A and B are shown apart, each in its own frame.
Chain A
Amino acid sequence: MNLIENVRLFGHSRFAIVGCLLLVLACGCQQEMARQPSYRPWEPSPFFADGQADRPVEPGTIARGQLRDNRWLVEADGARAAEAVAVLAAGASPLGTLALAAVSAPPPADSFPFALTEDMLQRGRLQFNIYCAVCHDRIGTGNGRIVQRGYVRPPSFHSERLRQAPAAHYFRVITRGQGAMPDYSAQIAPADRWDIVAYIRALQLSQDAPVDALPPAIRRQLVQER
């Protein structure tokens, strides 16, 4: 063994050592960080009796911030708030019952618990077309795609009875369901329900507007077409 061979052997073993160290890196290839034992929403769990990681919410729970989200309770003036509270109580929500204890008021006539704006109508149209039009169709005659597939046909919004129905009626039906219609309380937030009601009013007007109520330019156009 001369010096040169010793150096060469040492070089080989160094190569082997580096190689082994590189192999250690392969430990990083496992996915334990990507699949941690903590639960994500909707995951199953063998720990709880019902097999779900999500725990049910206690009945009557009001989420943090939920009260303030109800703008007709927070921002509306006293008289309007009272109306809204009565409507909410009619909807049998725990929030309504809670608020009713604080304010007692006569049941609402045909009024909205807040002043309507164009934005609300736009929001109402959006929500109506998502959740309602599948059955009620986009103008509210009650001939949507799902009805065409065999669902019970809902009444048209353009009947005299429904034109006369107070706004709170629609809010209640969306919240609790009626007849063949299921409730939408889980899918549509309370504020959005009011926006939808406002849009239903706009739809009703669209099918029942007297010619005199049209803007002059459009009235002229209509007369010419006739």
Chain B
Amino acid sequence: MPQVFHRSFNTLSRVSVFGSLLFLGLAAWAASVYVRSSYATNRDIARDQPIPFSHEHHVTGLGIDCRYCHDSAEKSRYAGMPATKTCMNCHQQIWTGSPVLAPLRASYQNDVPIPWVRVHRLADFAYFDHSAHVNKGVGCVTCHGPVDRMPLTWQHGTLLMSWCLDCHRQPQMFLRPREQVFNMEWQPPPDQEQQGRQLVEEYGVRQLIHCSTCHR
């Protein structure tokens, strides 16, 4: 019986076997890089807003506390956005003629909300309660990053499930005393793990890593 395949097909078959394995590996790697990239997660991308609101100016420059505007952050499941009225508390007298604030005045006069672009959006299948985190000693900075130094606001964390689990698996490494939650300058002490364990004990923090904690 004559040879059906040429000898070079031996090499070809080896290349295709190992090559396809390599391709699958590369594809898996590329996919894992993609889902963590800021293109997929929106991390570190400053979003354009209808009014170029600067947290840096209002927090660092003027010393306004987070809660002056985000007054439901420690009371509600949703952190909340300040009403136009809250902006107008000051801007009825300050920067009154500024063209930058024209959308704010239009919103106030016509009773129509400002269409802010959402910066943090969790997947709809994840349950999340903002007040629970704040009241158990998770600092603003821990999830939102240095907002006091953001001219335009960007998302600091990846909001991936692994990002949530980093803290849920070992809360003692991330918690701070309740009175320091809104302190943007707070640094973890050298013995954070030990102090964190005390806070976990004191605040009754549980290691919530069951699926149904968030996917209910």
Contact = CB atoms under 8 A, between A and B. Distances in A.
20 contacts: A31-B123, A33-B125, A34-B124, A35-B123, A36-B124, A36-B125, A41-B78, A42-B81, A42-B113, A52-B113, A134-B62, A134-B63, A134-B68, A145-B62, A149-B62, A180-B93, A182-B85, A182-B92, A186-B83, A186-B85
Interface string A187-201: 110000000000000
B94 A149 contact: yes
A38 B124 contact: yes
Contact of A40 (B81, B113, B115, B124): B124
B51 to A, nearest CB: 16
B88 A182 contact: yes
B186 to A, nearest CB: 16
Contacts of A134: 62-64, 68, 90
A122 to B, nearest CB: 10
B86 interface: yes
Contacts of A36: 124-125
Given A35-B124, A146-B94, A129 B65 contact: yes
A98 interface: no
A223 interface: no
B71 interface: yes
Interface string B89-104: 1101110000000000
The 10 closest A-B pairs by CB, nearest first: A34-B123, A36-B124, A130-B65, A182-B89, A187-B71, A33-B125, A130-B67, A145-B62, A151-B93, A41-B78
A83 B93 CA distance: 35
Contacts of B62: 134, 145-146, 149
A107 interface: no
B interface secondary structure, majority: loop
B124 A150 contact: no
Interface in B41-77: 62-65, 67-68, 71
Contacts of B68: 130-131, 134, 187
Contacts of A187: 68, 71, 86
Between B67, B78, B88, the greatest number of chain A beta carbons within 10 A of the residue's beta carbon is seen for B67
A113 to B, nearest CB: 22
Interface string A50-73: 111000000000000000000000
A146 B89 CA distance: 10
Contacts of B90: 134, 146, 151
Nearest to B62: A145
Contact of A151 (B88, B94, B123): B94
